[in-house]
Amino acid sequence: MAGFNSPMKRMAFTLTLIKGPDVAGWTRNMGEVLDALDLLMDNIPAVWDQFLYKFSAQFQDSQKEGRAWQKLENLQMKFPDIDGYISQFEELVCQANYSG
């Protein structure tokens, strides 16, 4: 889309899509950061990259691996669904970030 090559416009647009009382403070703070930037000097890809980093740090599921490990420990095969068991096991191993 025309105009969305601009990292600052992309950030501003994304912030308009993030709604709700649980995220209002974070979006307000990020909007203030955006307002403090100079459109001519600071409109570089690092602005978008930093926004994505901060978004991930704020909203990622930090307990995902632990929950996957717990599910792996309790996983049991229920005959005759061996394919479902294997599929669920493989998915949980990926989520648990297991590299054994």
What is the pLDDT tens value at each position of the chain, 100 positions in all?
A: 666 789 999 999 999 999 999 999 999 999 999 999 998 999 999 999 999 999 998 988 888 889 999 999 999 999 999 999 999 999 999 988 887 6
Full-model pTM: 0.62
Q: Is 51 exposed, middle or buried (0-12, 13-18, 19+ CB in 10 A)?
A: buried
Contact 88, 75 (CB under 8 A): yes
Per DSSP, the three-state class of 75 is coil
